[in-house]
Structure 1
């Protein structure tokens, strides 16, 4: 069932109930905060919010106020979110870990909600916010320990693209099927991370390159396991299968392509150097479960039958040179 847009307003409430209403709204969205209207006699706030898969998208307008997530509320695991905040009107002052960041219209701020922080808005402000569960970022290779807040521009470049997509996703959210919403959410997260990567933020301490190298290492360590699978690799690396596929497709291959190519190269090396093993022994030792399947993909990849190499090795002939063709065979 597609998600609807929910609305909440403090208009018409008593000042005391306005603060309670706004506190309850923040609690429902991302955790408990202290709310202070500063010296104003009332807190006029309005929020529209919806969900796209596991993301929460919000449009917030509120009069002068201060919200705080103090140390006393900072319990481990209580606020497992990262906020991506787009300032669209007014000025806000963000403080966290001794750092103060001024937000103007067109600025974008990413920060860890679980870490104590304060946001002061001395007059009317409007924000568009994406609330992202931290585990969705960890699945993409981002390590969030002691994440510093990061401000980037949403006026131009990838920041503007991310904001425009987020704005469009909010408007279309009620029309999305659950399956489509999942794809939109994945795309939105990837777009939101682009300006952060460009800014060199510590958000990306793991990063796609490091994760790809870890995937390579895991594959080679488990290459002899006939049950090696994409599920097993993604679980070990703590990332989604979709993100794992993307890491390899960016380099012109699938995860399966990489696994089978690595196995074939190891099989060829053994056939050329260890004449005491049979072809079936070699194939089975590197994760193949069928000698006929092995022979077929070996011939497709190298342009020569494994039996030819085996005979050459046992007959003390010179090994056949490896073909320069780097295309990857498709296992049946």
Structure 2
């Protein structure tokens, strides 16, 4: 079946809006919200906006005010979305479920639009907002449930994503639009980058040091579709090939005797990608070897598990476990790390 093409890309840039015009623009471009402000008089606002694929992004600079997604808004919506909110300058206060946090420049947060949330923006705040349909971001679900309304660090994959979106806004507002293929590639890239960022944040939290982690959760979900025997065979194959830098999704599809598209669909339903599954298996083995094989250097362990260089290994290990390989080795030296099957 041929893919349904993305709608034509759209972009706009507006300045000097009144508060009422601002409300109308956001309700039309993004989602209906409740708005309020304490100050009277002139309201300063400017924004750049673009749609690409099924997503929307905007760069906003506004005076102090409050927006809230209330239960009535969620109840009236036909589809769920995830919203990511980057603080570029100034400050904001965000809240969802039982979480509330102050965002300073460089930080970000995530929301599930099916749940109430609120944002109090400070004077002359500049933010970048990304709206993604939940159907296009399966891997964000659990992270959004746990992290909604928290202040998250704007580094690594999250910083790369916001840079790409800023470049998109600059180019599209200047009239340089992406074709359907370009929109799809950018959407997939941004979703994958933010999935990586969310997984890194979750892994850095204390509870995430449980070695079950992403691989175990994803394995259980995929196994419900594949069957336990086939999932064990897949895990055994991956673990036996971790030394090979060329281990890839196509080889996993061959082992399971399914198409590459079917493989991605199976993992997408589990909230993961084949690449992320392989990386997770590599990192869990690395953690075990760092604690149990003191005679091997960190670089030797990295190369033995298929990492191209030690710097990349250290970066992704820190994103997964919240500490460097050397810190992990010091903290867990001689410990028996239990790994799930």
TM-score over 0.5 (shorter chain)? yes
Aligned to 1:119: 119
Aligned to 2:92: 92
Equivalences for residues 1-332 of structure 1 within 5 A: 3-11=9-17, 18-75=18-75, 77-78=77-78, 80-138=80-138, 140=139, 142-143=141-142, 146-147=145-146, 148-154=148-154, 156-173=155-172, 174-200=176-202, 207=214, 210-216=217-223, 218-220=225-227, 239=269, 246=275
SS at match of 1:150: coil
- Mapped contact 1:27–1:33 kept (Cα < 8 A): yes
CA gap of 1:182–1:209, structure 2 versus 1, over 3 A, is farther
C-alpha separation in 2, matches of 1:78 and 1:44? 32
CA gap of 1:247–1:128, structure 2 versus 1, over 3 A, is closer
TM superposition shift of 1:160 = 2.2
SS at match of 1:51: strand
CA gap of 1:145–1:65, structure 2 versus 1, over 3 A, is closer
What is the Cα-based RMSD across aligned positions, in Å? 3.6
TM superposition shift of 1:211 = 2.9
Aligned to 1:327: none
SS at match of 1:6: strand
* Segments of 4+ moved more than 6 angstroms: none
CA gap of 1:50–1:198, structure 2 versus 1, over 3 A, is same
Q: Any idea what the Cα deviations from partners look like across 1:227-263, whole Å, max 9, x if unmatched?
A: 96566666666649xx7554677699xxxxxxxxxxx
SS at match of 1:211: helix
C-alpha separation in 2, matches of 1:35 and 1:24? 11
Aligned to 2:330: none
Structure 2: runs of 5+ lacking an equivalent: 1-6, 231-256, 282-341
TM superposition shift of 1:9 = 3.5
C-alpha separation in 2, matches of 1:4 and 1:158? 26
TM superposition shift of 1:207 = 4.4
TM superposition shift of 1:217 = 5.3
C-alpha separation in 2, matches of 1:113 and 1:236? 25
C-alpha separation in 2, matches of 1:78 and 1:135? 12
TM superposition shift of 1:100 = 2.2
CA gap of 1:116–1:175, structure 2 versus 1, over 3 A, is same
The count of aligned residue pairs is 240
- Mapped contact 2:62–2:124 kept (Cα < 8 A): yes
SS at match of 2:75: coil
TM superposition shift of 1:110 = 1.2
- Mapped contact 2:264–2:274 kept (Cα < 8 A): no
- Mapped contact 1:19–1:43 kept (Cα < 8 A): yes
- Mapped contact 1:218–1:233 kept (Cα < 8 A): no
C-alpha separation in 2, matches of 1:55 and 1:208? 28
Tell me the TM-score normalized by structure 2.
0.59
C-alpha separation in 1, matches of 2:260 and 2:105? 43
Tell me the TM-score normalized by structure 1.
0.60
C-alpha separation in 1, matches of 2:98 and 2:278? 41
Aligned to 2:4: none
TM superposition shift of 1:48 = 1.0
C-alpha separation in 1, matches of 2:136 and 2:21? 29
Aligned to 2:249: none
TM superposition shift of 1:50 = 0.6
SS at match of 1:5: strand
